[in-house]
Homo-oligomer: A and B are copies of this chain.
Amino acid sequence: MTASPRNLIDRVFFGFQNTATLKAALELDVFTAIGNGVLDADALAAKCEAGPRGIAALCDSLVVMGFLNKSSAGYALAEDAAVFLDRASPACIAGIHEFLAAPEFVELVFRDPAGAVRRGGSEGLANVAPDNPIWIRFARAMGPFMAPDAKMVAEHAGDPAPKKVLDIAASHGLFGIAFGRRFPECHVTGLDWGAVVAVARENAAAAGMQDRYSTIVGSAFDVPWGEGYDLVLVPNFLHHFDRAVCTGLLRRARAALAPGGRVAIVEWIPNEDRVSPPAPALFAMTMVLTTPNGTTYTAAELAAMLADAEFGAPTVIPLIPTPLTLVLARGV
């Protein structure tokens, strides 16, 4: 490869510009406006109540980014956009920018990235109180994004069928709810801050399992978890904490299990080299930039923490095609 400033420009400048571009496209809902059709800039501008000059620049960028195709007739959805960004698609996750590119995160990430690297972490969003509406917004935005993972976890962790499931830091509650959907006898308890767990309750009601859904309101570090669970779910939670805190949480999970019960961890897990696969590898930096002590853990590190918390050797299941991995372990 000949050295070229191209990669540098892409990463330095178009990196953040492309985030803003996709955010604009989602806010204007251009993907839904195009739908199954082919629209030129003028027609799309009229439909989205925007100027054709801005729409043309936006859509041409979305073509470069791989979300649209362009022909002489106009713009059409590429496959990723048709599946994930058209609100008519059942797999639509068009709201994820409200979490992943929330102004609070953008500000935090750009506040002092060199300082975060120096200190190994940032102040995080800790200054946002538990009852801040931001957490509700995040729970709503991330629900659809996590639905495929939740469904896969319920499939992989469903033998034997759990009757009593605890969902730690439930947020939208979808991981627990996936078990309720799959197993009609299953009772699910979601634990999270009050304002957030209300979203989980709504989602449980929408799944028709309001009679089989309970909540525990509070921080997973403060409130009692109950006991006798067949399964404790720890989805997207451990990466916020250091190893000692994670091991402590896993010990609490162990104590809350019925004999033979299991813990199901869902995480961004890099390979041992820590530079692959790309998304979990980049996620360690996400934690440095957005949390005080968070990081990613390899499967071997999670196995060691699980052993310390009196679990057996885990089963590791990549939740393909999503970037997450399921780690299942039984109490010993």
**Which residues of A are at the interface with B, using a C-beta cutoff of 8 A?**
1-24, 27-28, 49-58, 60-61, 63-67, 70, 79-80, 82-85, 91, 93, 96-97, 100-101, 103, 106, 109-110, 113-114, 116-121, 145, 270, 273-276, 278-279, 281-282, 284-289, 295, 321-323
Whether B16 and A101, one on each chain, are in contact in the complex, defined by CB atoms closer than 8 angstroms, is yes
Whether A17 and B118, one on each chain, are in contact in the complex, defined by CB atoms closer than 8 angstroms, is no
Do most interface residues of chain A lie in helix, strand or loop, or is the interface mixed? helix
Q: Whole-angstrom distance from the CB of A87 to the nearest CB of chain B?
A: 15
Q: Whole-angstrom distance from the CB of A262 to the nearest CB of chain B?
A: 27
Whether A120 and B54, one on each chain, are in contact in the complex, defined by CB atoms closer than 8 angstroms, is yes
Tell me the nearest residue of chain B to A145, going by C-beta. B5
Q: Write out the residue numbers on chain B whose beta carbons fall within 8 Å of the beta carbon of A276.
A: 64
Q: What 4 pairs across the A-B complex have the smallest Cβ distances?
A: A24-B113, A54-B117, A53-B120, A27-B114
Give the oligomeric copy count: 2
Q: Write out the residue numbers on chain B whose beta carbons fall within 8 Å of the beta carbon of A281.
A: 60-61, 63-64
Q: Write out the residue numbers on chain B whose beta carbons fall within 8 Å of the beta carbon of A9.
A: 100, 279, 323
Whether A288 and B53, one on each chain, are in contact in the complex, defined by CB atoms closer than 8 angstroms, is yes
Query: In the assembly, what is the distance between CA of A231 and CA of B51, in Å?
Result: 37
Q: Which of B18, B61, B79, B85 contacts A1 (CB 8 A)?
A: B79
Query: In the assembly, what is the distance between CA of A21 and CA of B10, in Å?
Result: 13
Q: Write out the residue numbers on chain B whose beta carbons fall within 8 Å of the beta carbon of A285.
A: 17, 21, 57-58, 60-61
Whether A118 and B50, one on each chain, are in contact in the complex, defined by CB atoms closer than 8 angstroms, is yes
Q: Write out the residue numbers on chain B whose beta carbons fall within 8 Å of the beta carbon of A322.
A: 4-5
Q: Write out the residue numbers on chain B whose beta carbons fall within 8 Å of the beta carbon of A18.
A: 11, 15, 282
Q: Write out the residue numbers on chain B whose beta carbons fall within 8 Å of the beta carbon of A57.
A: 117, 120, 284-285, 287-288, 295
Query: In the assembly, what is the distance between CA of A294 and CA of B8, in Å?
Result: 23
Q: Write out the residue numbers on chain B whose beta carbons fall within 8 Å of the beta carbon of A284.
A: 56-57, 60-61
Whether B60 and A275, one on each chain, are in contact in the complex, defined by CB atoms closer than 8 angstroms, is yes
Whether A110 and B20, one on each chain, are in contact in the complex, defined by CB atoms closer than 8 angstroms, is yes
Whether A321 and B16, one on each chain, are in contact in the complex, defined by CB atoms closer than 8 angstroms, is no
Q: What would be 21 A-B contacts, judged by CB atoms less than 8 Å apart?
A: A3-B82, A3-B83, A4-B80, A7-B65, A7-B66, A8-B80, A8-B84, A8-B85, A9-B279, A10-B278, A12-B101, A13-B101, A13-B286, A15-B22, A19-B110, A20-B113, A27-B113, A28-B114, A54-B119, A54-B288, A58-B117
Q: Which of B51, B54, B93 contacts A8 (CB 8 A)?
A: B93
Query: In the assembly, what is the distance between CA of A67 and CA of B270, in Å?
Result: 19
Whether A22 and B12, one on each chain, are in contact in the complex, defined by CB atoms closer than 8 angstroms, is yes
Whether B84 and A5, one on each chain, are in contact in the complex, defined by CB atoms closer than 8 angstroms, is yes
Whether B70 and A273, one on each chain, are in contact in the complex, defined by CB atoms closer than 8 angstroms, is yes
Whether B275 and A113, one on each chain, are in contact in the complex, defined by CB atoms closer than 8 angstroms, is no
Whether A28 and B274, one on each chain, are in contact in the complex, defined by CB atoms closer than 8 angstroms, is no
Whether B12 and A97, one on each chain, are in contact in the complex, defined by CB atoms closer than 8 angstroms, is yes
